[in-house]
Each structure stands twice: as structure tokens, then as C-alpha cells.
């Protein structure tokens, strides 16, 4: 018997019928794994880049050194840990282990509490703003609230205090804190130069020759100023915007994804043959 063919908006209807205060994990899983897998991963890259530009965070990362000496592996370790929590939830043994590793990693950076709130707010706000501009559909209210609820829960389990409640509160806090604190430092500039290669890998091979201009176009003016990245040429800004909008229109007409992201496990360049979750975060020998 043939399976039932899924419609393009079936997941959206399922999301809109859910309670973001209760089903936030399921909703955020659907948003990342089925509805917007490429967009969410790109937006997470940009969100982490913003957090790296905070003066205290940048200083701590340069002091510990791993972001400079092993940028690919550090990024893969961070991504795997975050995805393990999302894939399994907070009460699953792998989710609990990933949370413990996340807490251990942040003890070495010793971020200010407000900086920690900002990092979490970036993971809420930057992806939702990206989807609003370049997603094949706009994020639903339930998706925005589920993201806020999910990362608030992550923060609470990390011991972060005074977390916003709800998407609008996260967005308002993010904008106000960034306006007061995001500024250029040599450390932020150094980290951006070293980690830029990770974004280059997301640019299609035929366009790699224009990678630096396109990456600058991905950054907004506050992030470019913080990292001392020159403004991109007009052709890069316009071309990137038109290409991403065209992609969104094509995806709107495409069949829905039938296999969730990470259905066969998380594979990264650092761990092409798999990884031992308990050993992530250690320096390579």
C-alpha cells in the first residue's frame, strides 16, 4: 500500500495546532530538522559569530585559545553538543550528558551572566529574523515562542539568571544589549578572521572566489564594525539577497523534506566516522 504523500504545509498545521509552552521541543525539532534545515544551520553560524564579537566573550575565547588553534573542531564540538540536546531532549541520558559538557565548556570562558543571556538570545532571535527574510515561509508565532522557551530552558539548566520570557522579550533584550555592548576589539577581529573559513564552506563552490565579499554581505553593519570587516560591494549585497529570495520561492514550490536532518546521526568534517559524545570538547593530541 502506498504511503500518504505529505503536503508542503502539513508541518506548519501541526506546529500551529501545538502549544509552544508545552510542545516547544517538538516544535523546535520540526523547525530545524524538517522545515528549514539549511537556513537554521546558517543562522546558527551567524548567531555564534555575533556572540564571539562581544568583548568579554572574545577575550575569553582568545585566552583559552582553542577557537584559534582548532576552529573547525571547536565549532563541530559545539554544534554536536547543541544538536544532541535538541535531538534527545533534556531528560534523555545523551541530552543530560550534552548539557554537562556544555556547562563544562563555559566554565573555561567565564562569561558574564548578561553575556550568557545575549548568547542565548542570539540563538533565538537571529534564526527567526533570518527565516522572516529568507525562509520559504515566515516562521509561525508558535515557532518563535518555542525557540524562546527552548533556549530559556537551556539557559536555566546552565545556571543563567534573569532570562527573558517569550520571544518578544528576547528580541527586545537582544537589541538593547547589542546596541550597548557590541563593539570592535582586536580579539573579535582575530576570531572572525580565523573562523571565516567555516562560513566559506557553506558558499557554493562556483562562488568561492567571491567568498569574502559574500560573507561580508551576510553580516549586518554592527557585526561588520565589531569584527572590522569592510563593507561589501553593492553587487554582493544585491546578488546575495536576490539569490536567497529566489531560493525561498523555489523551496515554497518544492516537495516537503521526507527525511529529517540528522536522521542517520550527526556527521561533521571533524568526525566523518562518528564521535564519542563524552570526549567532545577536548583538545586534539
CA 22, distance to chain mean position in Å, is: 22
Q: For residue range 258-277, what is the model confidence (pLDDT) as tens digits?
A: 899 999 899 998 999 899 99
Q: What grid cell was written down for 268? A: 561533521
209, 218, 221: which is closest to 241 by C-alpha? 218
Distance of alpha carbon 111 from the chain centroid: 19
Integer Cα distance of 25 and 21 in angstroms: 9
Q: What is the pLDDT of residue 283?
A: 62
**Distance, CA of 155 to CA of 126 (rounded, Å):** 17
- The yes-or-no verdict on residue 109 having pLDDT over 80 is no
Task: State pLDDT tens for residues 56-89.
Answer: 999 988 988 888 899 999 999 999 999 999 999 9
pTM for the model stands at: 0.93
DSSP E strands: which ranges in the chain?
Answer: none
- CA–CA separation, 164 and 149 (whole Å): 9
pLDDT for 5:
67
What is the rounded distance in angstroms from the CA atom of residue 76 to the CA atom of residue 284? Answer: 13
- Distance CA(167)–CA(149), nearest Å, equals 8
What's the longest Cα–Cα distance across the chain?
Answer: 62
CA atoms of 62 and 190, how far apart (whole Å): 8
Residue-wise pLDDT tens digits, 120-164: 999 999 999 999 999 999 999 999 999 999 999 999 999 999 999
Amino acid at each position: 500500500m502506498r504511503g500518504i504523500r505529505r503536503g508542503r504545509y502539513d508541518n506548519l498545521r501541526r506546529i500551529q495546532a501545538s502549544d509552544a509552552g508545552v510542545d516547544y521541543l517538538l516544535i523546535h525539532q520540526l523547525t530545524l530538522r524538517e522545515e528549514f534545515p539549511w537556513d537554521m544551520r546558517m543562522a546558527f553560524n551567524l548567531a555564534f559569530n555575533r556572540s564571539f564579537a562581544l568583548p568579554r566573550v572574545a577575550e575569553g575565547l582568545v585566552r583559552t585559545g582553542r577557537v584559534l588553534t582548532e576552529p573547525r573542531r571547536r565549532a563541530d564540538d559545539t554544534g554536536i553538543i547543541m544538536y544532541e540536546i535538541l535531538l534527545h531532549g533534556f531528560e534523555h541520558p545523551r541530552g543530560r550528558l550534552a548539557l554537562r559538557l556544555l556547562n563544562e565548556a563555559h566554565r573555561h570562558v567565564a562569561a558574564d551572566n548578561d553575556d550568557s543571556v545575549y548568547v542565548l538570545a542570539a540563538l533565538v532571535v537571529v534564526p527567526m529574523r533570518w527565516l522572516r527574510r529568507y525562509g520559504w515561509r515566515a516562521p509561525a508565532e508558535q515557532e518563535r515562542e518555542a525557540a524562546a522557551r527552548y533556549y530559556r530552558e537551556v539557559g536555566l539548566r546552565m545556571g543563567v539568571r534573569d532570562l527573558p520570557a517569550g520571544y518578544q522579550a528576547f528580541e527586545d533584550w537582544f537589541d538593547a544589549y547589542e546596541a550597548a555592548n557590541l563593539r570592535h576589539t582586536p580579539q573579535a577581529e582575530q576570531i572572525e578572521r580565523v573562523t571565516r573559513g567555516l562560513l566559506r564552506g557553506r558558499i557554493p563552490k562556483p562562488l568561492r572566489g567571491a567568498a569574502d565579499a559574500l560573507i561580508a554581505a551576510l553580516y549586518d553593519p554592527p557585526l561588520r564594525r565589531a569584527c572590522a570587516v569592510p563593507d561589501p560591494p553593492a553587487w554582493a549585497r544585491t546578488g546575495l539577497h536576490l539569490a536567497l529570495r529566489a531560493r525561498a520561492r523555489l523551496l515554497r514550490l518544492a516537495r516537503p523534506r521526507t527525511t529529517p536532518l540528522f536522521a542517520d546521526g550527526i556527521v561533521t568534517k571533524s568526525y566523518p566516522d562518528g564521535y564519542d559524545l563524552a570526549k567532545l570538547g577536548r583538545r586534539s593530541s
